[in-house]
Amino acid sequence: MSEPLSRAHALALDANDPLRDLRNEFLIPRHAGGEQTYFVGNSLGLQPRGAQAAVQEVMTQWADLAVEGHFTGPTQWLRYHRLVSEPLARVVGALPSEVVAMNTLSVNLHLMMVSFYRPTTQRPVILMEAGAFPTDRHAVEAQIRFHGFDPADCLVEVQPDEATGTISTAAIEQAIAVHGARLALVLWPGVQYRTGQAFDLHAIAALARAQGANVGFDLAHSVGNLPLQLHDIGADFAVWCHYKYLNSGPGAVAGAFVHERHHRDTTLPRFAGWWGHEEATRFQMAPQFIPAAGAEGWQLSNPPILGLAPLRASLDLFERAGMGALRTKSLALTGLLDALVQARLPHVLERVTPAEDERRGCQLSLRVIGGRERGRALFEHLHAAGVLGDWREPDVIRISPTPLYNRYQDLHHFVDEVQAWTGL
């Protein structure tokens, strides 16, 4: 066996990778006559080759069938959203009836909070992380105000308590205990977008529910990255987008999960629309709203079929690979990246993301030692060399090797380019 941090070893890993063929299912952007080294699947996943055909199929049906496309054949638009429920449910560990592809993440977050954030004078508080993605912070504050409460009193943010800006489970546990009797909702990310920290969703859900609070997860950086067990964890709801690790294109239709225990609860307030009405009587066009059982009952509009088409193509690849095999490769990729950075770039990059497997997904957030100017210069150098990560102010480069299309040799390319830039 060759030396584990050698390029030869990486090439051998690629040659023996059981998932290696999946890379051919993606369109890799070009750079200088070759291919980019793309580590930005956490921001916009690459295009699956099947996406164009899936969109073209809808365009052709529209041309050939027009309105009859709603009712014709196995991909009829009336039930099109249901074509993704089973594979999507497998990706997030849910029952097919618990998931729905609809709207966008921020919209779904609001819709879910309409049903699951029900503040009272005794219990008005939403607990979330400090430094959350802005849309989550905005939505939470807006919901609190919408109910006539004051965010200064009703929004509790758990501060990072670890040296690199991550949050321990103990700190979350303590915050939930301290605010327990006043907690209406705990809203937490699966993976933190800036630090790459993965959280113990099982523990958070159990702690929140033991206090009588609802619990919802924002899985924007988790879905397609980590195996999830939303049903068993017992979250009340979850939301996510499909353009990051789910590779379904810019502004792709998003996803939502509603736990089975809420499916027949007609007392839950919700912002209803006709596509959430039970299918059997929807076209009687009666004024009373009868929600469809399951997450589908939260739909508002008939879905954008063209927007859903790439998601079908993407989920085909997840079905082929399986989340278990993807996670196995992901751990090996990110573990190797970490080892290479520690061994060869300790004077250049400092890992912000936790070291433990169970506390991270594929992303490593790497702080550039020496401050913002040095960081930007390195980032620009990598970009010019066709090595794409992304930048988070003031000094962090995020590198997300994804097991669907990244290779072990890509990690060497990254480390070699950083080393070339430092002149070592």
Q: Catalytic: which of 312, 359, 360, 398? A: 398
Sign of the dihedral through C-alpha 69, 70, 76, 80: positive
Q: What is the DSSP letter of 300?
A: -
Parallel, antiparallel, or unpaired: how do β-strands 125-129 and 183-189 relate?
parallel
- Closer by beta carbon to ligand PLP, 111 or else 378: 111
Catalytic residue status for 329: no
Query: Which of residues 133, 188, 237, 245 is near ligand PLP by CB under 6 A?
Result: 133
221: contact with ligand PLP by CB under 6 A: yes
Q: Least Å distance between CB 136 and ligand PLP?
A: 5
220: contact with ligand PLP by CB under 6 A: yes
Q: Was 136 annotated as part of a binding site? A: yes
- Closer by beta carbon to ligand PLP, 205 or else 385: 205
Query: Which of residues 72, 75, 76, 104 is near ligand PLP by CB under 6 A?
Result: 104
- Closer by beta carbon to ligand PLP, 19 or else 238: 238
Parallel, antiparallel, or unpaired: how do β-strands 390-392 and 396-399 relate?
antiparallel
Residue 256's contacts (CB-CB under 8 Å, 6 or more residues apart) are: 99, 100, 102, 103, 108, 111, 112, 237, 238, 239, 240, 295, 298
Stretch that binds ligand PLP, among 129-137, 270-278, 363-371, 388-396 (CB under 6 A): 129-137
d(CA 238, CA 335): 28
d(CA 105, CA 253): 8
- Closer by beta carbon to ligand PLP, 104 or else 174: 104
Give the residue ranges of DSSP H helices in 99-215: 105-116, 134-146, 151-154, 169-179, 201-210
Q: Which of 129, 151, 124, 93 lies closest to 204, judged by CA?
A: 129
Query: Is the bond leading into 394 cis (omega within 30 degrees of zero)?
Result: yes
CB atoms within 10 A of CB 157: 14
Tell me if 94 sits within 8 A of 230, measured CB to CB: yes
Catalytic residue status for 80: no
105: contact with ligand PLP by CB under 6 A: yes
Query: Under rule CB under 6 A, how many of the chain's residues touch ligand PLP?
Result: 12
Q: Was 300 annotated as part of a binding site? A: no
Q: Was 39 annotated as part of a binding site? A: no
**Of residues 60-89, those binding ligand PLP (CB under 6 A):** none
Q: Was 218 annotated as part of a binding site? A: yes
Q: Which of 103, 146, 152 lies closest to 125, judged by CA?
A: 152
Q: Catalytic: which of 218, 236, 395, 410? A: 218
106: contact with ligand PLP by CB under 6 A: yes
- Closer by beta carbon to ligand PLP, 123 or else 244: 244
Query: Which of residues 226, 241, 323, 366 is near ligand PLP by CB under 6 A?
Result: 241
d(CA 125, CA 183): 5
Q: Was 195 annotated as part of a binding site? A: no
Tell me if 139 sits within 8 A of 113, measured CB to CB: yes
d(CA 363, CA 196): 6
Q: Was 105 annotated as part of a binding site? A: yes
- Closer by beta carbon to ligand PLP, 26 or else 193: 193
Catalytic residue status for 133: yes
157: contact with ligand PLP by CB under 6 A: no
d(CA 88, CA 142): 29
Catalytic residue status for 218: yes
Question: Which amino acid would we find at residue 220?
Answer: A
189: contact with ligand PLP by CB under 6 A: yes
Tell me if 221 sits within 8 A of 363, measured CB to CB: yes
Q: Was 243 annotated as part of a binding site? A: yes
- Interface mask toward ligand PLP for 280-309; x: CB under 6 A: ------------------------------
Catalytic residue status for 21: no
Residue 79's contacts (CB-CB under 8 Å, 6 or more residues apart) are: none
225: contact with ligand PLP by CB under 6 A: no
Q: Which of 316, 416, 424, 423 lies closest to 37, judged by CA?
A: 416
Q: What residues form the annotated binding site for pyridoxal 5'-phosphate?
A: 105-106, 133-136, 218, 221, 243, 274, 302
Q: Please list the active-site residues.
A: 133, 218, 243-244, 398
Q: Which residues bind ligand PLP (CB under 6 A)?
A: 104-106, 133, 135-136, 189, 193, 218, 220-221, 241
Q: What residues form the annotated binding site?
A: 105-106, 133-136, 218, 221, 243, 274, 302
